[in-house]
Structure 1
Amino acid sequence: MRAFRTCALGLLGAGLAVAATTPGQAQHLLAPPAYRMERAQEDYRYLASDTTTVRPDLFDPVKFIPLSRSKRSYLSLGGEVRVQYVRVRHNDWGAGPEDRNGYLLERYMLHTDWHAGPHVRVFGQLKSGLVHGKSFEPELTEKDQLDLHQAFLDLRVGDPAAHSLTVRLGRQEMAYGSSRLISWREAPNVRQTFDGGRLLWRTPGLALDGFLTRPATTEPGVFDDKPNPNVWFWGLYGVKTIKPLAGGLDLYYLGFDNKLARYQQGRAPERRHSVGGRWWGSPGNWRYNIEAVYQFGQFGRGQIQAWTASGEFGYLFKDLPLRPLLQLRTEHISGDRNPDQPDLQTFNPLFPKGAYFGQAALIGPANLRDVHPVLTLYPTSDDRVAISLDWDFFWRARRTDGLYSVPYVLSRPGSASQARYIGDQLTAELDWQVQRHWELELFLTYFRAGAFLRESGPGLNQTYVSPRVTFRF
């Protein structure tokens, strides 16, 4: 563990040298590709050419290591170091333990990507999530001393630039669409992975994925993560790109089986099916993202009938100073009608992004209505700096169901109050991509408790302050 951390810190020091390079060097060359959130999607085959038109980078020697004369077999290395300070005042609106001095989160990740020609690939990734100075027990998504985050084998036929079919087996990340239902969970200190198999079909205008998996549990020790024996997760997800709209259409089916599901009704086995679609695009200055999901199945001896609909609409004023992007987001997420009846109407968000309604992640997407205006400013012409201000207003969809945290853990029962209004959350975020390897972020959130929180228990206003620095190579 110490060796892994020492290596990561050494790479962080090397990154400081990268930041000190002369910005005017090799201006005539193209910029290297940006790092992807899903690191397995990165492609460094352009480094096989001795006459590359891409600007050199300090870490190029480890991004493409030829293993054959033809350079069709190669090895690529990469990693990440992330340090984040978190200070929360009035945790759980005063109902949770208080940490007066805040605490520090560290994330270390290191991956290897081995290609044995164009048809065979092995990808492996280690992770370490550490917590320092927290006066109470860390969340499950905060601590994992050292573990195998990804380890999968790809067998591919066809050309990825035209038509290809890939079989992927092993532990792997998955994220689809807007990450409302399936995500790698980037915001928390420890990301989400799945154990199982996938079929990936790719053409220039169509992507189709089928999968059968179990989610990997996060345990705090060393190499102790394992597939959840109580949960199966399977599905089919398709994305059709529509170039004239600068967007596309997603259609999907997702199956979920949990032997130990828990809602306000209680605990029971759950088998749930989700059918949904998403229409998205950014034609010209406009932005839109519309999604709807219907769920059905069984919870114990009752029937499941749940749904959600969400919309995001925006316009970029590119000719104004700071090029403001003004957006309005809203959604309705169903809740249960009667906890004394066996049928269940509470929506299950499955495996959503950890920061669903902001980095503070106070509320989960179940039994909820919200209205969410967002203003984003871009002070620089290259979009390396983004400043966003948003104000989110929350109501319970049904008074008979409770309040859920991320992803769908019951936080407060609905019987404690008949009020609908949960509260409003004001957030300011700064994201500065200093250069290719370095990213600085700052999150400030103030949540003003509404009638439901005040009547169902402690209802103090909550604040969240968190600066974060990330180095990637």
Structure 2
Amino acid sequence: MACLLAVMLLPEARPSYAQEVRFKTLRYEEDYSAIQPDSADFYSQVKHIPLGKKHSYLSLGGEVRYQYFWYKNPGWGSEPEDQDGFMLSRILTHADLHWGNHFRLFAQLQSSFAAGNTEPASPVDENPLDIHQLMMEADLYAKNNQRLFLRMGRQELSYGSQRLISVREGPNSRQSFDAARLIYDAKYLRADAFYANYVQGRKGIFDERFWDGSSQLWGTYVTLPQISSFPGVDLYYLGLSKKSVFADAVGRERRHSLGTRIWKEASGVSFDFEAVYQFGSISMSQIRAWTVSMDASYKPHMERLAPVFGIKSELISGDRTPGDRLLNTFNPLYPRGAYFGLASLIGPYNLTDVHPYVQWEVCRRITWSMDYDLFWRMGREDGLYAVNGALIHDGRGIKHKGIGKQLGTDVNFRPGRFLDFKVEFTWFDTGKFLRFAGLGKSIYMAGFTAAVKY
């Protein structure tokens, strides 16, 4: 009945451009060069505006997203109650200029607002207007299905499974970097070398600073794509320099991450394994940290509407001995915001996590998901951290590892190519660690998201 209602209420449009619209996480990766300039429909004309010169055109697009959230016992009872909940809104709009085959400019504005919060909103939730992306791209070599190009300016970065570098889609404001990137792209290899500065969000209008140097990121990322039955492989090195606060060290850290990811997407069994080792220094301490993560799923060889059964698990190192001038706390760098669900209660620091889940495409437009997450501290002598790295509790004097259990479910409704609706519920049952830390109340969260992309 729900599927029938979805089809009746908002039937998907099928104009001539439908097969050419492919929205991507990184909007600058979309390609509308194949749209014919003389297309009759208005939307195609907006996505491909000819500029006279051969292979030159302007493409316009954007996104509008509204979210409503309601929490009971926010902060496990440590934060003020809000009986009415709060609203978040975000507007993104961009222009993509292609001049010939070998040069382009991409610009994107972002505006985000928060309403109804019990406490002042951070720049992550409220940033009235800023230049989110402004970059140029120029080919240095393009021949025989090989391409070497330079991408320079303010831009979003996203690598692999977004465990370490992400666009941060979950929170209200997406994140970006001022970066210079040299990228080689061929059929069986993609290699990216870059140097970047993280863009610190501010709550004014056009007040984000360019290349301020407060948080620096550099590295190389190499991807060998999946070929037939062989899995894809990522190899990378990432360097970080920024001020950080951990339970056992505070100061400017210089951290190096060596990692690999092995992944495969298939109709039956899919998997994603990733391992990272970190070293460096912070204040007077040396850094030695690591993480291993896994995401494996199985979809029965049945009809298209078969459910997907999966399990995720992560081992994320925490500090072992306070005061020994050796920091073992893993730093996830710039991860995706909704790391363990839209509620975003815990960050990927000092953690052991087991996370079974099921996803079912109820019909072509509706998907239902449910997951059950169990959390423990990896190290008894380290604390509990939020998604943004803020220290929730330093963990001192508490030997219990059990943080809690989280049950989440959501229903995603996509009535058409441009619209997306999502309803989500989360229950977090506190464990012994949180109760001994004075954070003993269970959290309940309900959220609703409505988004349109164009």
TM-score using structure 2 length: 0.94
| Matched-pair contact (CA < 8 Å) for 2:12–2:417 | no
Residue 386 of structure 1: aligned partner:
367
Distance in 2, matches of 1:20 and 1:399, equals 53
Residue 447 of structure 2: aligned partner:
466
User: Which of the numbers 142, 148, 168 marks the counterpart of 1:185?
Assistant: 168
- For 1:48, the aligned partner's letter is Q
Instruction: Tell me: CA distance 1:464–1:22, structure 2 relative to 1, closer, same or farther (3 Å).
Output: closer
Is 1:363 the equivalent of 2:346? yes
Q: 1:418 is paired with a residue of what secondary structure? A: coil
Is 1:136 the equivalent of 2:119? yes
Is 1:432 the equivalent of 2:413? yes
Give the aligned length.
Answer: 446
CA-to-aligned-CA distance 1:320-364 (integer Å, 9 cap, x gap): 694110001101000001222211000000000001111111000
Q: Which ranges in structure 2 are unaligned for 5 or more consecutive residues?
A: 1-7
Is 1:172 the equivalent of 2:155? yes
Aligned runs of 1:415-430 on 2, under 5 Å?
Answer: 415-430=396-411
Aligned runs of 1:156-171 on 2, under 5 Å?
Answer: 156-159=139-142, 162-171=145-154
| Matched-pair contact (CA < 8 Å) for 2:37–2:49 | no
Q: Which ranges in structure 1 are unaligned for 5 or more consecutive residues?
A: 1-18
Distance in 1, matches of 2:336 and 2:43, equals 30
Post-superposition offset of 1:207? 0.8
Is 1:46 the equivalent of 2:29? no
User: Which of the numbers 115, 119, 122 marks the counterpart of 2:105?
Assistant: 122
User: Which of the numbers 143, 153, 157 marks the counterpart of 2:136?
Assistant: 153
Instruction: Tell me: CA distance 1:163–1:20, structure 2 relative to 1, closer, same or farther (3 Å).
Output: farther
Post-superposition offset of 1:98? 2.2
Post-superposition offset of 1:241? 0.8
Q: 1:327 is paired with a residue of what secondary structure? A: strand
Instruction: Tell me: CA distance 1:73–1:320, structure 2 relative to 1, closer, same or farther (3 Å).
Output: closer
Q: 2:327 is paired with a residue of what secondary structure? A: coil
Residue 246 of structure 2: aligned partner:
263
| Matched-pair contact (CA < 8 Å) for 1:416–1:455 | no
Is 1:209 the equivalent of 2:171? no
- For 1:301, the aligned partner's letter is M
Distance in 2, matches of 1:22 and 1:193, equals 35
TM-score using structure 1 length: 0.90
Instruction: Tell me: CA distance 1:263–1:22, structure 2 relative to 1, closer, same or farther (3 Å).
Output: closer
User: Which of the numbers 360, 378, 385 marks the counterpart of 1:397?
Assistant: 378
| Matched-pair contact (CA < 8 Å) for 1:47–1:60 | yes
Is 1:84 the equivalent of 2:67? yes
CA RMSD of aligned residues (A): 2.0
| Matched-pair contact (CA < 8 Å) for 2:140–2:150 | no
Distance in 2, matches of 1:332 and 1:268, equals 25
User: Which of the numbers 220, 223, 231 marks the counterpart of 1:239?
Assistant: 223
- For 2:256, the aligned partner's letter is H
Instruction: Tell me: CA distance 1:21–1:269, structure 2 relative to 1, closer, same or farther (3 Å).
Output: closer
> Percent of aligned positions with the same letter in both sequences?
37
User: Which of the numbers 407, 420, 437 marks the counterpart of 1:456?
Assistant: 437
CA-to-aligned-CA distance 1:153-189 (integer Å, 9 cap, x gap): 1111344881111111110000001100000100110
Distance in 2, matches of 1:21 and 1:86, equals 25
| Matched-pair contact (CA < 8 Å) for 2:53–2:100 | no
User: Which of the numbers 66, 78, 82 marks the counterpart of 1:95?
Assistant: 78
